[in-house]
Amino acid sequence: MLDTPCPLCSPSAETRLWSDAFCRVIWVEDAAYPGFCRVVLNAHVKEMTDLPPAERQRLMNVVFAVEAAVREVARPDKINLASLGNLVPHVHWHVIPRWTDDPKFPDSIWSAARRENPARVAPFALGSALALRIAAAL
């Protein structure tokens, strides 16, 4: 696993769209996937089933609120939700907007690109709109 400190426990730089004592929603800077967010549990926990059921539900409520906000603001063709943790074994969820013309569709965003990245909405405006929508939902 990790031989270094957990980057999600001590982030050096991240853009927070929303947070509370339990978890935070961070903006992922990726021009191919504007609106890409991560929902990060603030406690260092390896697996979802290590959490008590009420905390699992609380975290998923945040994930679903972020998904709804991304759908409303970015208007993607599809949303991908992923909780991998292979490289960083700390509970976190990826909320990834997908378009049928994005560079890697229909493959995962970690696959090789199939095409060039089309121009999309300005990230600053999108991030601000997402932060407002997420705060209103939570």
CA–CA distance, 98 with 88 (Å, rounded to integer): 23
Residue-level pLDDT at 2: 47
**Which residues of the chain register pLDDT less than 50?**
1-2
Assigned token pair, 96:
């990834």
Residue-level pLDDT at 13: 87
Residue-level pLDDT at 11: 80
Run of H or E including 123 = helix 123-137
Nearest Cα to 26, choosing from 34, 37, 35, 36? 37
Q: Name the pTM for this structure.
A: 0.90
The fold for domain 15-102+114-137 equals HIT family, subunit A (3.30.428)
Residue-level pLDDT at 121: 63
